[in-house]
Chain A
Amino acid sequence: MSEAHGTRVQEHIGDPVSEAPVVSRDTLEEIFDDIQSDLRYDFELNGCLNCGICTATCPAAHYYDFSPREIVQLLWTENLEGIYDAMQEKIWACAQCYTCAARCPFGNSPGGLVMLMREAAIKHGMNSAKEVLRPFSRVMLKLVSTGNQLSPDMITADHFPDWGPNVTKIEAPLETLRKAIPMATLNTTKTAWEVNMRTSVELYTIWEETGVLDQLETIDENLFDVITDFMDEKRDDWEDFLDEQEDENDE
């Protein structure tokens, strides 16, 4: 492989023992540009002396081949191949606790930088992102369609067998237990609280206007289809409600 443009960056990055297609330098630059162009980048990366305080205090570093120091160094030195490589798996190890950010003497936020890399991984439809996020699709479906991130009917012993038999300690139907919560908004099973129809419809506008639906389509087309159908249905319901209101006002 030849060196490109007189830099240390190779023309292509590829694994000599895998069948995976090589990645062009243009793609590497495009990915880095996406990370770097986020307005948070300059707030979250201020320099690095490799002190390693971030990694010493990082919970994920205890259990994974992950080091926030390495992430910061890759970005600080603009190591495009290393950045791409870290986006295959490492960035998904971060627990997002921001301990690193609170500790860094330079005021860096390695956890925040990881988020910029995750967003870029999604934008570029990386397989790593698709695979890692597959188990997260229930949460995304719930959130994008209702405005709630989880619901009581998702927290059951069947879904979390390692939580043991005491997910609830009283034998009664979920619906009854939820109605026994003395807050009217919480007497629900399919959402954490009852969400006003207008709220959901407004949220759909936010998803569309900020490119979140595009992200979803890139990462999981089937999920995208299900969610957009749901959104259309709810918007129709909202329009019907507004029409009814108008009719009532006219009478």
Chain B
Amino acid sequence: MTSKTSDKGENGENNGGERFTGHGAEWRDSGLGARDAATATSWVEQRIDKRAMLTNKQRVEDVRDAMWQLEKEGEIAVHRVADEHKPVIAKTLYGWDKKVPTDRLWHHKSCGQCGNIPGYPTSLLWLMNKMGYEYLDETDQTSCTAWNYHGSGIGNLESLAAVFLRNFHQAYVAGRAQGLPDGYYYPLVHCGTSFGNYKEVRHYLLHSAKLREKVKSILGKLDRLVDGKLLIPEEVVHYSEWLHVVRDEVAKHQEIDCAHVRATVHPACHVYKMVPEDAIYDDDVLDGNRVAVSTSVLQALGAQVIDYRTWYDCCGFGFRHIISEREFTRSFAIDRKVRVAVEEANADVMIGHDTGCVTTLDKNQWISKAMGDEVSLAILADVQFAALVCGAHPYKIIQSHWHASPTERLMEKLGIDWEAKKAEFEAYLKEVEAGRPEHLYDPRLAITSGPGFKPITKQT
């Protein structure tokens, strides 16, 4: 690793001013001179760092330029990230600005998270409540349909585009149910595949008049045009980007010290390899060499971020493979990710920020017993880890019981009495069965039209 001037202590525990701890508490500087260090790392930089992507910079356009032009020509309407959404500017791969809204957010949920790892969205909403951010979680949204598309090939560019525009239009008008103006809420996408897919679709929508014409006719039938135009969001924003820009604020709510936790990060392919020019990089996070989200949050919370050689690999989800080519999925997840993180990085946890990755890495560990060489590692989403160290209940909020991986071991390391918390939750289930469940928000707000809708006027 390149030798960097830093003010970290002998054990690397104080990372003030340090950008990349490399191998955690046991890490020692190589002592190489600047030239030798540069030589030693140059091959890595050429192959896997963002600099490799920068070679394409001259040929990549900022698709938002095309968007503003089309708006000027009256071809589309743009849902803006307004001041009311309290945006924070982050830098993307090529140093372009991305406006990340932090307030008045419309949760575009993930089917995989909600169906399988519900502590993912609940942790996000819990943190928003804690920090006083306003949001809407409602029923009027579909999946992005991209998991099915990438897995099966059923679907096409037009169907993906129509679903994108339909859901984002609903985000734009969702406030009407509470007497709020259009554009009040801004969509926040939970799923990494939805995020990548929607950005790819936006690119094609902005470049193809034919595609726009086709989907405009569909959106017209659905009564989902704005002044007769397609509505395109100024930014497509992933929840991990929201967490990235509010990380210092999150850290102010931290209750549990995690400086001794060795965390590995699995960046999600569809978050930073699809439409890579829109992924967030930050010079203060891993020297700006890798996608910043998740790592930045762990650093803000004081955890040790540990490198491992297969960080760049996918998780093995494969979309189709997790259903029908499971041997591939579990082999890849175990041998290329979990085992490396455990044996090479001696990790306590692997942190993800996408639906399929967290599911794949979490669920495909038990089967390693069959090989007689069991490997296990707690798997959590960044937002779950953040909520956990901010004092969220491990079962009511983090919903850790849906995780097959040994989250209990991580909790013990954090000093959390998980057995006591589990007993509390089991007692709470009696309350649930008696019809007294707790909610993170007024459940009446969840239905914005159709059967069950009751108008609730909100004071702005």
Binding site for B on A (CB under 8 A): 38-40, 43, 57, 59-60, 62-64, 92, 95-99, 101-103, 105, 107, 115, 118-119, 121-122, 129, 132-133, 135-136, 139-140, 143, 147-152, 154-155, 160, 162-170, 172, 176-177, 179-187, 191-200, 202-203, 205-207, 209-212, 215-216, 219, 238, 241
The reply to whether A121 and B153 contact each other, CB–CB distance below 8 Å, is: yes
**Which one of A99, A162, A170, A180 lies within 8 Å of B312 (CB-CB)?**
A99
Q: Decide: A197 near B450, CB < 8 A? Known: A150-B111, A210-B158, A211-B156.
A: yes
The minimal Cβ–Cβ distance linking A110 to chain B, given in whole angstroms, is 12
Q: Decide: A95 near B145, CB < 8 A? Known: A107-B56, A196-B140.
A: no
Q: Decide: A99 near B156, CB < 8 A? Known: A163-B363, A169-B401, A205-B221.
A: no
The reply to whether A162 and B367 contact each other, CB–CB distance below 8 Å, is: yes
Chain A residues within an 8 Å CB radius of B269: 97-99
Chain A residues within an 8 Å CB radius of B451: 197, 241
Q: B102 interface residue, CB < 8 Å from A?
A: no
Q: Decide: A118 near B115, CB < 8 A? Known: A176-B429, A186-B121.
A: no
Binding site for A on B (CB under 8 A): 52-53, 55-56, 59, 109-116, 118, 121-122, 125, 137-143, 145, 147-159, 162-163, 166, 170, 196, 204, 207-208, 210-211, 217-218, 221-222, 224, 269-270, 272-274, 276, 312-314, 316-321, 323-324, 326, 328, 330-332, 336, 363-367, 395-397, 399-404, 422, 425-426, 428-429, 432-433, 437-441, 443, 446-451
**Which one of B155, B317, B365, B428 lies within 8 Å of A95 (CB-CB)?**
B317
Instruction: Report the separation of the CA atoms of residues A243 and B154 in the bound assembly, to the nearest whole angstrom.
Output: 34
Instruction: Report the separation of the CA atoms of residues A139 and B395 in the bound assembly, to the nearest whole angstrom.
Output: 28
Chain B residues within an 8 Å CB radius of A107: 56, 59
The reply to whether B137 and A99 contact each other, CB–CB distance below 8 Å, is: no
Chain A residues within an 8 Å CB radius of B113: 192
Across the A-B interface, the 6 shortest Cβ-Cβ residue pairs? A164-B366, A118-B153, A184-B443, A192-B115, A147-B142, A97-B314
Chain A residues within an 8 Å CB radius of B170: 199
**Which one of B52, B324, B447 lies within 8 Å of A196 (CB-CB)?**
B447
Chain B residues within an 8 Å CB radius of A92: 320
**Which one of A150, A182, A194 lies within 8 Å of B122 (CB-CB)?**
A182
The minimal Cβ–Cβ distance linking B135 to chain A, given in whole angstroms, is 11
Q: Decide: A162 near B326, CB < 8 A? Known: A102-B53, A119-B156, A193-B109.
A: yes
The minimal Cβ–Cβ distance linking B42 to chain A, given in whole angstroms, is 17
**Which one of B148, B273, B365, B422 lies within 8 Å of A102 (CB-CB)?**
B273
Instruction: Report the separation of the CA atoms of residues A16 and B396 in the bound assembly, to the nearest whole angstrom.
Output: 63
The reply to whether B218 and A186 contact each other, CB–CB distance below 8 Å, is: no
Instruction: Report the separation of the CA atoms of residues A186 and B111 in the bound assembly, to the nearest whole angstrom.
Output: 10
The reply to whether B139 and A192 contact each other, CB–CB distance below 8 Å, is: no
Instruction: Report the separation of the CA atoms of residues A167 and B153 in the bound assembly, to the nearest whole angstrom.
Output: 28
Chain B residues within an 8 Å CB radius of A172: 426, 429
**Which one of A135, A168, A185 lies within 8 Å of B324 (CB-CB)?**
A135
Q: Decide: A136 near B114, CB < 8 A? Known: A62-B332, A103-B52, A170-B422.
A: no
Closest to B114 in A: A192
Secondary structure call for the B interface: helix
Q: Decide: A136 near B196, CB < 8 A? Known: A172-B429, A196-B139.
A: no
Chain B residues within an 8 Å CB radius of A186: 114, 118, 121-122
The reply to whether B429 and A205 contact each other, CB–CB distance below 8 Å, is: no
Closest to B117 in A: A155
The reply to whether A194 and B324 contact each other, CB–CB distance below 8 Å, is: no
Closest to A198 in B: B450
In the assembled complex, 27 residue pairs joining A and B whose CB atoms fall closer than 8 Å, in A order, are: A39-B211, A43-B207, A59-B313, A63-B328, A98-B274, A99-B273, A115-B149, A135-B324, A148-B142, A148-B143, A149-B111, A150-B112, A162-B330, A164-B404, A169-B401, A182-B396, A182-B437, A185-B137, A186-B121, A187-B437, A192-B114, A196-B447, A205-B221, A210-B159, A210-B162, A211-B159, A215-B155
Chain A residues within an 8 Å CB radius of B429: 170, 172, 176-177, 180
Chain B residues within an 8 Å CB radius of A181: 118, 122, 399
The minimal Cβ–Cβ distance linking B218 to chain A, given in whole angstroms, is 5
The minimal Cβ–Cβ distance linking A238 to chain B, given in whole angstroms, is 8
Q: Decide: A163 near B367, CB < 8 A? Known: A148-B115, A185-B446, A192-B111.
A: yes
Q: Decide: A143 near B143, CB < 8 A? Known: A183-B121, A198-B449.
A: yes
The reply to whether B440 and A206 contact each other, CB–CB distance below 8 Å, is: no
Q: Decide: A205 near B218, CB < 8 A? Known: A119-B153, A129-B153, A164-B366.
A: yes
The minimal Cβ–Cβ distance linking B165 to chain A, given in whole angstroms, is 10
**Which one of A148, A149, A163, A176 lies within 8 Å of B432 (CB-CB)?**
A176
Instruction: Report the separation of the CA atoms of residues A212 and B142 in the bound assembly, to the nearest whole angstrom.
Output: 16
Closest to B445 in A: A184
The reply to whether B145 and A143 contact each other, CB–CB distance below 8 Å, is: yes
The reply to whether A203 and B142 contact each other, CB–CB distance below 8 Å, is: yes
The minimal Cβ–Cβ distance linking A137 to chain B, given in whole angstroms, is 9
Chain B residues within an 8 Å CB radius of A203: 142, 163, 166
The reply to whether A59 and B125 contact each other, CB–CB distance below 8 Å, is: no
Chain A residues within an 8 Å CB radius of B273: 97-99, 101-102
Chain B residues within an 8 Å CB radius of A147: 141-143
Chain A residues within an 8 Å CB radius of B218: 205-206, 209-210
The reply to whether B404 and A166 contact each other, CB–CB distance below 8 Å, is: yes
New A-B pairs, 20, CB < 8 Å, besides A95-B316, A99-B313, A147-B143: A98-B269, A101-B274, A118-B152, A121-B153, A136-B323, A147-B142, A151-B115, A163-B366, A166-B366, A169-B400, A181-B122, A187-B437, A192-B109, A192-B115, A194-B446, A199-B142, A205-B222, A210-B159, A210-B162, A241-B450
Closest to B326 in A: A162
**Which one of B118, B274, B317, B363 lies within 8 Å of A183 (CB-CB)?**
B118
Chain B residues within an 8 Å CB radius of A105: 55-56
**Which one of A103, A148, A168, A202 lies within 8 Å of B401 (CB-CB)?**
A168
Closest to B446 in A: A184
Instruction: Report the separation of the CA atoms of residues A185 and B196 in the bound assembly, to the nearest whole angstrom.
Output: 24
The reply to whether B150 and A199 contact each other, CB–CB distance below 8 Å, is: no
Residue with the greatest number of chain A CB neighbours at <10 A, chosen from B210, B396, B437: B437
